[in-house]
Amino acid sequence: MIYHQLFTDKKVYAAVIGAGHFCTAIVTQQKYAQALSVPLIADKNLENAKNALIKAEIPEDLIVYCDTAQAAQEAIVSGKYVYTDRTEILMDTPIIDIICEGTGVPEAGAYNCKLALEKGKHVAIVSKEMDSVIGPILKKMAKEKGLVYTPVDGDQHGLLMQMVEWAKIVGLTVISAGKARDGEFVYDEKEQTVSLACDGITVHQDYCVKIPDNMTKYFEMIPEGQVEEYLEKRAEVLKELPNAGAFDLCELTIMANSTGLKPSIPATTQATLRITELPVAYCAKKNGGIYDEEGIIDVHTNFRRKDESGMGGGVFMVVRCDNAYSNYILTTKGQIPNYDLSTAVIYRPYHLCGAEVTTSLLAAVQLGVDTGSKEYLPSYDLVKYANCDIKAGEVLGNDHDLRMTANIIPATKRGAGVPVPAHMITGNVAKVDIKAGQMITYDMIQEPENSTLWALRKLQEETF
């Protein structure tokens, strides 16, 4: 790390839109972070906005409500902290350098980001849902204005971009890369069970599956040459446990568009794997793995005993060195290799969400650079299928709407019968009856009036 050589003590002032878990952590970490102040937070729910500042240990006599930019500016300059339900005032408050958009609502996110850039503010994007639809055009718009549009350290896709960029710089070949789900499958060998704990965010109840006696061998370390058999048998036994959600694939879509790696198509593998099994399974078939080619983005559920370290919802790469001696160093000096020592896994077993966003904010404002990848191209889309019959007139939800399931496909352009990007569906109405199993297309959704999201998507398709 060379952060101490890059960043200065010059204060960066950030404003946050959305008082959810992620953005609240940005607010609460500010007292302990170098050169960062987050004195302004907006949320439709004023209580949530104010509570984020209270959780940050700000004395209540320093917390004030403002509904104009002038009042917010005066309050902040005098040492106070401001909460508001008037999002637009953030863009006009002169002291604010950068806007953290974290509503998680695609339409609102599109409007907020576009307005922030028009008003000359840098943008740190937490709302991955919107980013998966129009991130490339927003990044291009920011560059043209001399501004920064950046993913954030702390979210998995932002962290993986940096990991892959680092690999390219030092000359590693990335065979596969991706993320671990936040939820992990915990193995109790004595009881012959696999459990998944409720986290209240991505997993909404506790699960436990008993492993039949004749299947226990498939939960031992995968033997050489038996990857596909073991993954198939594990999936069969654990079929009652929820696998990766649309929110996981949303991040994978952004990862693919940012790194140039390809999603595992026609569907992500979503294998149940120990950390030690990642280089064994998530490599090319020529080296005993499952892929026909290299350069793949994928997701997995970490599999471990209770007394073993987990992935912490972190990110990983399966890599090799193309020089024989360099690869010998890679695979014999402490990294976890596969059986023929042709690959090794490098992983980051944590992502700290809003608690580590500071580096992205400082980089944007002090250095004028983003902490993402060099290129951000709309190569892939997240799309959705109906899990059940959906009636005309029903409002469709976000990635937690269990009426739909997600997949990643090569990016398309709008047209009849063409899949609509997943988060252009969110909050909109089904125009026709949709049958279970059908992919949701443009002609099935009522286009919203005066939509910033839909307009920017059109511009993105015309531009790239």
Q: Is 80 exceeded by the pLDDT of residue 149?
A: yes
H/E element holding 315? strand 315-320
pLDDT for residue 199: 85
Beta bridge partners of 187: 194, 305
Q: What is the mean pLDDT of residues 63-88?
A: 98
pLDDT for residue 380: 97
Q: Is 70 exceeded by the pLDDT of residue 14?
A: yes
- Look-up of token digits 């309050």: 75
Residues 6+ apart with CB under 8 A from 320: 172, 173, 175, 327, 330, 342, 343, 344
CA distance 398 to 424: 10
Q: Is 70 exceeded by the pLDDT of residue 267?
A: no
pLDDT for residue 262: 95
Ranges 136-150, 196-210, 240-254, most confident: 136-150
CA distance 10 to 37: 11
Contact 463, 140 (CB under 8 A): yes
Q: What is the mean pLDDT of residues 98-125?
A: 98
Q: What is the mean pLDDT of residues 306-329?
A: 96
Q: Mean of the per-residue pLDDT values for the chain?
A: 96
Q: Is 70 exceeded by the pLDDT of residue 245?
A: yes
Per DSSP, 384 falls in state E
Q: Over the stretch 33-69, which tens digit does the pLDDT of each residue have?
A: 999 999 999 999 999 999 999 999 999 999 999 999 9
pLDDT for residue 202: 82
Q: Is 80 exceeded by the pLDDT of residue 268?
A: no
How far is CA 343 from its chain centroid? 26
pLDDT for residue 265: 67
CATH 3.40.50.720-classified regions of the chain: 3-154
Residues 6+ apart with CB under 8 A from 284: 175, 291, 292, 293, 294
Q: What percent of the chain has pLDDT over 90?
A: 95
Overall fold of domain 3-154: Rossmann fold (3.40.50)
Q: Over the stretch 398-420, which tens digit does the pLDDT of each residue have?
A: 999 999 999 999 999 999 999 99
Ranges 1-5, 162-166, 241-245, most confident: 162-166
> How many residues does this entry show for the chain?
464
pLDDT for residue 266: 57
CATH 3.40.50.150 applies to domain 380-463: no
Contact 36, 367 (CB under 8 A): no
**Nearest by Cα to 253 from 137, 157, 138, 349:** 157
Beta strand 315-320 pairing with 344-348 = antiparallel
Q: Over the stretch 377-390, which tens digit does the pLDDT of each residue have?
A: 999 999 999 999 99
pLDDT for residue 3: 85
pTM: 0.95
**Nearest by Cα to 150 from 370, 400, 313:** 370
pLDDT for residue 294: 96
CATH 3.90.1210.10-classified regions of the chain: 380-463
Helices and strands counted in the chain (H then E): 14, 19
Q: What is the mean pLDDT of residues 136-142?
A: 98
Q: What is the mean pLDDT of residues 20-26?
A: 96
**Nearest by Cα to 134 from 159, 111, 102:** 111
Q: What is the mean pLDDT of residues 221-232?
A: 96
Beta bridge partners of 319: 174, 344
Contact 91, 14 (CB under 8 A): no
CB-facing half-sphere around the CA of 163: CA atoms within 13 A:
28
The total of other beta-carbon atoms located within 10 Å of residue 391's CB is 9
pLDDT for residue 1: 67
